[in-house]
């Protein structure tokens, strides 16, 4: 790829001092091994909450129940896929960006695909694998720019915010703050319940940690909540601390084995949604992290973008084969960049931490098995994702209407794909009504027809 030849390094005369320095360009980026190790540790602490949350979302001890994947398998797959994806990003693309199963995409996998559509998790893994393959082809052929330009920025912002509200809604439900009601659909839960009180305590603690600027605020919030829960008798104490990684024999290769079952009209929507969310989420994260690290070139472009996007798609494919939902770049990588990370060595350190964490399933199992402990993390992550609401042009109805429908439909229909479909169905319609049909990309019209068929055949 031509873009891979571009260099991000500022001009200087510092010479590499060792093999690691030469490979990652530490001196060229005004960095050193100590700083990169610290940055990798900070990034890991900022995103390690996924080790507890992902097994809850996808596992058979969470909302999915018997329809879910074996919890230990999900935990191990989460750690291993993070190791694989982050190593590829660090060693090949050489960016200080960490990858792991993505929040929002795991919610789509669990609540929209498995629960909503009734698709077995094995087939859903196949859909994840196919989306990764398509993503990889888009990344290496250069079609990614064409696709990115096809979706209006206002809709991209709405999708991110809508997923944030959806995740926060799930967190409030798990916490017992929001409960079902036959008359009003939802209502305020009993805040005197010990488990709900524990979740509220966890939310307060996590928010405080976040506001005062602690890098691992979400992880620390989970740890403190779990500790208080054990002391109060609401959470069971772990039966152990260290255990050999296991469970992958139940999930590894299922995505390949069930490949023939994935070619249905439902799965087309599933793959499109996974691809849509991962593609734009990854692109936004890469630009955000690279910009903060001052790694963009003079034209504001991302050098080695093909490798970076390729690393993300490889992570998704490998994660699906191992046994987890879409693996994607984490915006928490900015925490490591703020700590001085500038090269792929930061990512290698993150991968090492995830590899070590795979041996601590007994501890994470207690956390993942108690919804009230992880609920604050879901709510806080939802809050952070919803910030894109502020960038939507609400004063222009041609943007406000489809954006609002996208955002509100996700939590109210309990489906990310429904929100995306509704928004991209209305966007071309209001643009045509506004007389701006020429401003709509042809691909968007095609998506409108696809999602129209989706609603027509939705059961």
Helix axes 153-175, 371-385, angle to 10 degrees: 160
The radius of gyration computed from the CA coordinates of the chain, to the nearest angstrom, equals 22
Neighbour count for residue 450 (Cβ, 10 Å):
16
Q: Which pLDDT belongs to residue 5?
A: 42
Tell me the C-alpha distance between 331 and 314, whole Å: 18
Q: Which of 12, 28, 11 is nearest to 20 (CA)?
A: 28
The two three-digit tokens of residue 67, written as one number: 């329809």
**DSSP code for 399:** H
**pLDDT at position 12, please?**
44
**What is the sign, positive or negative, of the torsion defined by CA atoms of 281, 80, 414, 383?**
negative
Q: To 10 degrees, what angle do helices 71-88 and 50-58 make?
A: 130
| Degrees, nearest 5: CA angle 32-36-37 | 120
Q: ∠ at Cα 254 (248, 258), nearest 5°?
A: 175
Would you state the pLDDT for residue 3?
Answer: 45
Task: Write down the pLDDT at residue 346.
Answer: 95
Cα distances from 345 to residues 6, 30, 41, 145, 416, in angstroms, run 19, 13, 11, 28, 35
Of the candidates 250, 174, 166, 234, the one whose C-alpha atom is nearest the C-alpha of residue 198 is 234
Domain ranges of the chain: 14-381+391-456
- Interacting residues of 185 by C-beta distance below 8 A, sequence separation 6+: none
- Residue ranges of the chain whose pLDDT lies below 70: 1-16, 144-149, 280, 284, 287-288, 292, 296, 298-301, 369, 457-459
On the 0-12 / 13-18 / 19+ scale of CB atoms within 10 A, 164 is buried
Q: What is this structure's pTM?
A: 0.77
Position 145 scores a pLDDT of 62
Strand locations in 158-213 (E) = 178-181, 185-188
pLDDT confidence of residue 1: 43
- pLDDT reported for residue 45: 83
pLDDT of residue 421: 84
d(CA 73, CA 402): 39
The enclosing H or E element of 201 equals: helix 194-211
Phi and psi at 411, nearest 5°, equal: -70, -35
Tokens of 442: 């042809």
* CA neighbor of 402 nearest in space, from 440, 375, 360, 438: 440
């Amino acid at each position: 790829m031509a873009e891979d030849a571009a260099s991000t390094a500022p001009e200087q005369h510092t010479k590499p001092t060792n093999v690691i320095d030469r490979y990652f360009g530490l001196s060229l980026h005004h960095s050193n091994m100590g700083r990169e190790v610290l940055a990798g540790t900070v990034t890991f602490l900022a995103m390690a909450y996924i080790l507890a949350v992902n097994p809850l979302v996808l596992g058979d001890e969470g909302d999915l129940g018997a329809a879910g994947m074996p919890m230990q398998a999900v935990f191990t797959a989460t750690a291993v896929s993070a190791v694989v994806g982050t190593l590829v990003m660090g060693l090949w693309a050489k960016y200080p960006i960490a990858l792991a199963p993505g929040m929002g995409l795991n919610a789509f996998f669990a609540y929209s695909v498995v629960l909503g559509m009734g698709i077995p998790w094995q087939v859903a893994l196949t859909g994840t694998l196919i989306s990764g393959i398509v993503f990889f082809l888009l990344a290496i052929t250069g079609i990614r720019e064409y696709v990115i330009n096809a979706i209006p920025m206002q809709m991209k912002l709405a999708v991110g915010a809508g997923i944030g509200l959806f995740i926060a809604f799930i967190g409030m439900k798990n916490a017992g703050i929001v409960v079902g009601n036959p008359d009003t659909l939802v209502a305020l839960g009993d805040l005197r319940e010990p488990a709900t009180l524990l979740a509220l305590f966890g939310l307060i603690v996590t928010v405080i940690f976040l506001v005062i600027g602690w890098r691992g605020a979400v992880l620390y919030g989970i740890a403190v909540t779990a500790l208080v829960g054990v002391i109060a008798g609401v959470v069971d104490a772990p039966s152990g601390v260290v255990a050999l990684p296991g469970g992958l024999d139940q999930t590894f290769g299922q995505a390949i084995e069930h490949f023939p079952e994935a070619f249905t009209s439902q799965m087309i929507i599933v793959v499109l949604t996974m691809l849509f969310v991962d593609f734009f989420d990854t692109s936004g994260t890469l630009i955000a992290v690279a910009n903060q690290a001052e790694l963009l070139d003079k034209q504001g472009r991302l050098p080695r973008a093909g490798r970076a996007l390729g690393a993300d798609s490889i992570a998704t494919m490998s994660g699906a084969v191992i046994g987890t939902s879409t693996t994607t770049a984490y915006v928490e990588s900015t925490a490591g960049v703020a700590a001085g990370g500038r090269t792929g060595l930061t990512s290698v350190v993150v991968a090492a931490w995830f590899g070590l964490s795979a041996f601590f399933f007994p501890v994470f199992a207690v956390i993942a098995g108690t919804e009230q402990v992880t609920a604050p993390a879901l709510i806080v992550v939802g809050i952070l994702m919803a910030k894109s609401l502020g960038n939507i042009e609400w004063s222009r109805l041609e943007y406000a209407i489809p954006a609002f429908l996208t955002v509100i439909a996700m939590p109210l229909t309990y489906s990310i794909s429904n929100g995306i479909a509704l928004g991209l169905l209305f966007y071309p319609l209001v643009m045509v009504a506004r007389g701006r049909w020429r401003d709509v990309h042809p691909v968007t019209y095609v998506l409108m027809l696809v999602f129209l068929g989706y609603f027509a055949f939705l059961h």
